[in-house]
Each structure stands twice: as structure tokens, then as C-alpha cells.
């Protein structure tokens, strides 16, 4: 990745480096997070930016969808605790009256349009920029967990995939983007939260739905990418990677693949009484005076951490070892894929 100077990221909680944490006044993500990330360590994009000394421009928001005109994601909003300048700029497009408990977050389309305004004034690095989109899970999950979403149009997997393709088109047309990586969906059937909540038949349905979306996404982006040889548009198959990690957990040095890091954190610091509200990303207390973790805790510190690699941080988000694996994969795409003639 030595030819790049910038990485620009759009998406949801899989790429959010702290925006929703500030908007929500610390309600989301869960306690024990790393600097407001939905993980216990740096995200894949943090890792790439630090390792390769890239300027990291990031518009991702937890619970974001592809297009708010179809379905929009909601997060807790704490006006008294979210008064920083970077947060206020994120909320300019939103109705955030003090009476509200939830607020819509910018979708990927809005994130890109906001970036294009900046890009028009600062376009000297267009050929040195890697663009990445990490989103889609919230769009396909919204119909079954509607309390954290505003659903405005009928659910349609193919349309969601096509909306993602339209977002890529925006980058091509508005920014003359040359290098774009789009994540497909992670295996939702393997999310620890869904394993806990759903039976085998329901998880089979999740798997089929996820695979169908990934198929439609690749089809849409293949068509788009074939239009110009000047553009490199790649789908990163995170679904395949995480399936491989689960199947070969011992090879990766992972603990039980469905065990989550956050539960280990709660055991360590006597937080068993805290129950997770999966979609509000809040904590609820069954008893008073629950002792929090140590104030210096920055991310989750595990017993014998070097010997305990977790695949999942909480019920839906990847732990830091998985983030490192994803970062390595993106490096391979850039170093090998973008340098070859074959793309999608």
C-alpha cells in the first residue's frame, strides 16, 4: 500500500471510529470499548492508517444504512454529552431536538455526498486514495428488529445491493475514484447474538438471505466495474474469511468462536448483572452500584491476553484479532489485486 497517501471510509459500526459514541454520550458502543470503537482494539481501518502512515478520513456511523430514503438507522442521542464540533457537524442534517431519545444517523449515501463537498476543494490526492465501504448489515436486519430503524420502503435485497452500487457510482462520478473496496455482509448466522436469539431454522434463513445479498452485490458491482478499465472496484469477501476463521479456529489460535470478549470483560470486573440491550447498545442494571472497570481501561484487557484470541468483541462486532485479520486481507487486495488485470 506504499502508493497510497489517504484512506477514506464510509459505513456503519464496522468502521465507526467514535462518532456514535460521542453522539450518544457514551451509551453506544458498550462499556469496555476501545476509544469509542465497536471493538476492544483498533479497527481494521485504524490499523491500515497507522501502519502505512495514511491520512484517515472517516464518515462511518454505527447503525448506518445504505440509503436513509429506504431505511434509516437510529442511535441514542444525548444532547448534553455530545457537544463536540465533529459530532455537531455529523448532526447538521438531522432533527435532534432535546425531546428526542433516538436520532437518525447519516447513511452511506449521505456520508459520500458530504465527503464530495470536501473533495471538490481538496482533490490533489485522488489517485493516491483508497476508498472503502463497510455497510449493508443494518439494511437487511431492519425488518426483524424495527425498533432501531425507520423503515420507509418495502424490503428488497436486490434493491439494497443496487443502492450500494449507486454509492460506488457516486465515488466514481463525483471523485473520479480509482480504487474502491466494498465489504460484503458478514455471516449473520454466526453472530453470537443471533445464535443466542434464534433457532437453527431461523439462522438458516439468515444465512440464505446473507448469501443472496452478497450474490446480488457482486453482480451489481461487477457490472459497474466492467464499464471502465480505469477503475478498480473490489468486493472484499469478509463472509468467506469469517467462515474460515470459525471452521479453523484452532489454526487461528481462537478461543471458542461464539464466545465473546465483552462477556469475559464482565466476568473479570463483576459485571454479570448487566444485561445487553442488543439494538439500543445500552446497559441496564439489575442491581445498584455495579462496579465499573478500572478508569484507565482503554479497551478490554484479558487474562493471559496473548493466549486468548477472540473472534467477536460483543454479540455483533469483531474483536481486535479479527480486525487485524481483516486489515491484512485489505492489504492483500491492494497489493495484489489492484496490481493485476483481474478485478471482480
Q: What are the tens digits of pLDDT across the range 107-143?
A: 999 999 999 988 766 667 778 999 999 999 999 999 9
pTM: 0.83
Whether 248 maps to a domain, the answer reads: no
103, part of any domain: yes
CATH classification of the domain holding 125 = 3.40.50.1110
**Adjacency order of strands within the sheet including 129-134:** 55-58, 6-11, 129-134, 179-183, 232-236
Examine residue 275 and state whether it is found in any structural domain, yes or no.
no
The burial class, CB within 10 Å (0-12 / 13-18 / 19+), for 122 is: exposed
Does residue 260 lie in a domain region? no
pLDDT confidence of residue 100: 53
pLDDT value at residue 229: 65
Q: Sign of the C-alpha dihedral, residues 241, 247, 251, 257?
A: positive
CA distances from 260 to 31, 188, 313 (A): 14, 15, 5
Question: What does the alpha-carbon distance between residue 8 and residue 198 come to, in Å, rounded to a whole number?
Answer: 36
Task: Check: CB of residue 189 under 8 Å from CB of residue 311.
Answer: no
User: Which residue range is the domain that position 76 belongs to?
Assistant: 6-239+319-337
Neighbouring residues of 229: CB distance < 8 A, sequence distance ≥ 6: none
Compute and round to an integer the Cα radius of gyration of the chain. Answer: 19
**CB atoms inside a 10 Å sphere around CB 86:** 10
**Nearest Cα residue to 262 out of 40, 5, 58, 55:** 40
Quick check: bond before 29 cis, omega within 30?
Answer: yes
Domain count, the chain: 1
Task: Please answer whether residues 37 and 316 qualify as being in contact, where contact means their C-beta atoms are separated by less than 8 angstroms.
Answer: no
List beta partners, residue 181: 132, 234
Query: Residue 61: inside a domain, yes or no?
Result: yes
Query: Does residue 180 sit within a domain?
Result: yes
Please check whether residue 304 lies inside any domain of the structure.
no
Is residue 34, in this structure, part of any structural domain at all?
yes
User: Tens digit of pLDDT for each residue in 308-326?
Assistant: 688 999 999 999 999 999 9
Residuewise pLDDT in 10s, the chain (344 residues): 888 999 999 999 999 999 999 999 998 998 789 999 999 999 999 999 999 999 999 999 999 999 999 999 999 988 765 444 444 344 444 444 444 589 999 999 999 999 998 876 666 777 899 999 999 999 999 998 888 999 999 999 999 999 999 999 999 999 989 999 999 999 999 999 999 899 999 999 999 999 999 999 999 999 887 776 667 899 999 999 999 999 999 888 887 666 677 655 444 333 333 333 333 233 333 323 322 333 333 343 333 344 468 899 999 999 999 999 999 999 999 988 775 543 45
Determine contact, residues 182/168, Cβ cutoff 8 Å: yes
Alpha-helical segments (H) within the chain = 19-23, 44-52, 85-90, 108-119, 137-141, 157-175, 192-197, 200-225, 238-247, 249-252, 261-268, 320-332
d(CA 323, CA 330): 11
Amino acid at each position: 500500500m506504499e502508493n497510497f497517501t489517504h484512506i477514506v471510509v464510509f459505513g456503519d459500526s464496522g468502521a465507526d471510529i467514535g462518532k456514535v459514541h460521542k453522539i450518544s454520550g457514551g451509551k453506544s458502543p458498550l462499556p469496555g470499548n476501545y476509544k469509542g470503537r465497536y471493538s476492544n482494539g483498533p479497527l481494521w481501518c485504524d490499523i491500515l492508517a497507522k501502519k502505512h502512515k495514511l491520512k484517515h478520513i472517516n464518515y462511518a456511523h454505527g447503525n448506518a444504512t445504505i440509503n436513509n430514503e429506504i431505511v434509516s438507522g437510529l442511535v441514542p442521542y444525548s444532547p448534553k454529552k455530545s457537544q463536540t464540533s465533529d459530532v455537531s457537524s455529523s448532526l447538521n442534517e438531522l432533527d435532534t431536538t432535546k425531546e428526542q431519545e433516538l436520532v437518525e444517523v447519516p447513511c452511506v449515501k449521505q456520508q459520500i455526498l458530504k465527503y464530495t463537498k470536501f473533495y471538490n476543494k481538496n482533490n490533489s490526492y485522488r489517485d493516491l486514495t483508497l476508498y472503502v465501504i463497510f455497510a449493508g448489515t443494518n439494511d437487511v436486519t431492519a425488518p426483524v428488529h424495527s425498533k432501531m430503524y425507520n423503515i420507509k420502503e418495502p424490503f428488497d435485497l436486490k434493491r439494497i445491493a443496487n443502492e450500494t452500487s449507486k454509492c460506488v457510482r457516486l465515488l466514481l462520478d463525483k471523485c473520479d475514484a480509482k480504487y474502491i473496496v466494498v465489504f460484503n455482509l458478514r455471516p449473520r448466522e454466526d453472530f453470537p447474538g443471533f445464535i443466542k436469539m434464534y433457532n437453527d431454522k431461523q439462522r438458516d434463513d439468515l444465512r440464505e438471505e446473507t448469501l443472496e445479498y452478497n450474490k446480488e452485490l457482486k453482480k451489481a458491482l461487477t457490472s459497474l466495474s466492467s464499464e471502465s478499465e480505469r477503475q478498480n472496484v473490489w468486493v472484499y469477501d469478509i463472509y468467506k474469511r469469517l467462515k474460515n476463521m470459525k471452521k479453523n479456529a484452532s489454526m487461528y489460535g481462537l478461543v471458542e468462536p461464539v464466545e465473546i470478549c465483552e462477556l469475559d470483560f464482565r466476568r473479570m470486573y463483576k459485571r454479570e448483572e448487566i444485561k445487553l440491550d442488543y439494538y439500543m447498545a445500552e446497559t441496564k442494571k439489575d442491581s445498584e452500584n455495579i462496579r465499573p472497570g478500572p478508569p484507565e481501561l482503554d479497551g478490554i484487557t484479558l487474562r493471559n491476553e496473548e493466549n486468548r484470541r477472540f473472534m467477536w468483541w460483543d454479540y455483533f462486532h469483531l474483536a481486535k484479532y479479527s480486525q487485524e485479520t481483516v486489515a491484512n486481507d485489505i492489504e492483500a487486495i491492494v497489493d495484489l489485486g489492484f496490481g493485476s488485470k483481474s478485478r471482480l
